Amino acid sequence: MSARVVVLISGTGSNMAALLDAAADPAYGAQIVAVGADREAAGLAHAEQAGIPTFLIPFSDYADRAEWNRALAARISGFTPDLVVSAGFMRILGREVLSEHTVVNIHPALLPAFPGAHAVRDALAYGVKVTGATAHFVDEGVDTGPVIEQVTVRVEDGDDAAVLHERIKGVERRMLVDVVGRLARQGWALDGRQVKLGPAPGSYATEENR
């Protein structure tokens, strides 16, 4: 039986679209059962066209962050997911959600370096020669949860934040599809901060670094 996955987005949902494409293959092991957002997002229309249920939980509709998190947790729970994927979701999730659901996030840097919303800009400003992308489980900190997988991306001469971010996004998308599929098919073990998965296919990890 396929693992049930709820995807959260805040924008166009390009990572979500990649997950939908992958999940169309029964061998992938994951079924996208719903797509949710905190604002009107183009990705919701894409999901609806694919026949996926969608939901909207606007932050501004609630008195405070805790109330919003409770509403989001309840809506997610209605789809009984095995996994929740934050695919470009721009809100910090609170304990109301995290106590009930296992959440995976993708981040455009090699954590623990450069957490937060401006990771690509911050990496460039620091002058690093290598950055990358991290898939991690979400905890109550900002990009502080256990690392599932990481892929490096070189910083090239002349890169600005937009150019570098686009190159990282390609790696992020392939890594997210791979990680969600591996979690769904193989499960995982967590020993402290060490996440144990089955072997990675490896092809996506080198494509941007040849």
Query: Known catalytic residue: 107?
Result: yes
Here the contacts of 120-123 (C-beta below 8 Å, separation 24 or greater) are 120/161, 120/164, 120/165, 120/168, 121/161, 123/155, 123/164
Tell me the three state secondary structure of residue 34.
strand
- Catalytic residue (one of 101, 107, 136, 165): 107
Tokens 């905190």 belong to which residue?
38
* Residues 155 and 123: beta-carbon distance below 8 Å: yes
What are 26's two structure tokens? 């029964």
What whole-number distance in Å separates Cα of residue 88 and Cα of residue 15?
A: 7
Rg (Cα) of the chain, in Å, rounded?
A: 17
* Residues 194 and 146: beta-carbon distance below 8 Å: yes
87: closest CA among 22, 26, 28, 29? 22
Give the number of other CB atoms < 10 A from CB of residue 163: 14
Active site members: 107
